[in-house]
Structure 1
Amino acid sequence: MSDAVTKILQRYIEVFNETDDAARAVGIAEVFTEDALYTDPTAEVPGRDRINAYIGQFRKQAPQLVFVLGAVKFHHDTALFDWTAGPDGGAPVASGRDFVRLKDGQIERIHGFFD
């Protein structure tokens, strides 16, 4: 199961890196449950469409940032993972960790924390 969890989290990172709204919407449908909730210190975003809009706005503000998945810990239907973000090929300028609750192989809740 941990391979499947790592795979969905890697796909989530790819979705967050996607700059095309339509392509990102496809990825969001793969990764998130329909009633998913995304939170971080700056936002509480319910539902796939709003999550897509939120990520799209972020991508416009910081198009140079590329997110990279770090260590993943998993048990039952929850996961905790580290991430970094920085210019493509450059040193990270941001990092954090997210706590995820999964349902049927998709993200139902994700709570992001910034370092």
Structure 2
Amino acid sequence: MDTADYDRLLRANIQRVFNERDSAKRALAIEELFVADPVLYEPDNTVTGRAAISMVAGRLLEQFGPTFLFRPDGVAVGHHGLAILRWTAGPDGGPVAVTGTDAAEIVEGRIARLWVLLNPTTE
């Protein structure tokens, strides 16, 4: 039976990993939310391991500035170990800079593989 709380897990990933500027807190969250040897697939990069995922999140936050935030857009849905959550991102109180979807393979209640899918910009 599928008992994973996909919404809680993927929202926690956004809030406690990709919005967390404190690297020690981010590392603790990753330890709780991800399997021992997770894989993150970005459009132009693949990283393996908890430390590498933490570095990616930290670099994104540094790159986009101190008020940049990822925000869940709706409720995560999933079944049979696959979950998706749409999100938006941009400066706090500012316009949306990017939108996308996280797709995750969930194994024993933790993220094993995470795909970051970016929506095309309409400029």
Q: Normalising by the residue count of structure 2, what TM-score does the alignment of the two structures yield? A: 0.86
AA in 1 matched with 2:93: G
What is the match of residue 82 of structure 2? Answer: 78
What is the match of residue 99 of structure 1? Answer: 103
2-side partners of 1:56 and 1:43: how far apart? Answer: 15
Asked if residue 66 in structure 1 is aligned to residue 60 in structure 2, the reply is no
Query: C-alpha offsets along residues 71-105 of structure 1, whole Å, 9 cap, x if unaligned?
Result: 32211110111110011122311101121100111
Which deviates further from its counterpart, 43-52 or 54-63? 54-63
**Between Structure 1 and Structure 2, whose CA radius of gyration is higher?**
2
Consecutive unaligned residues of structure 1, counting only runs of 5 or more, are none
What is the match of residue 43 of structure 1? Answer: 45
Percent identity, aligned pairs only, is: 33
Structure 1 counterpart SS, 2:61: helix
2-side partners of 1:5 and 1:114: how far apart? Answer: 20
Q: Over aligned residues, Cα RMSD in angstroms?
A: 1.3
Name the structure with the higher strand share. Answer: 1
2-side partners of 1:22 and 1:65: how far apart? Answer: 19
What is the match of residue 88 of structure 1? Answer: 92
Structure 1 residue runs of 4+, over 6 Å off?
none
2-side partners of 1:40 and 1:94: how far apart? Answer: 14
Query: C-alpha offsets along residues 1-48 of structure 1, whole Å, 9 cap, x if unaligned?
Result: 46x211111110011000111111011111111110001112101000
Consecutive unaligned residues of structure 2, counting only runs of 5 or more, are none
Residue correspondences, number: 114
Structure 2 counterpart SS, 1:80: strand
Q: Normalising by the residue count of structure 1, what TM-score does the alignment of the two structures yield? A: 0.92
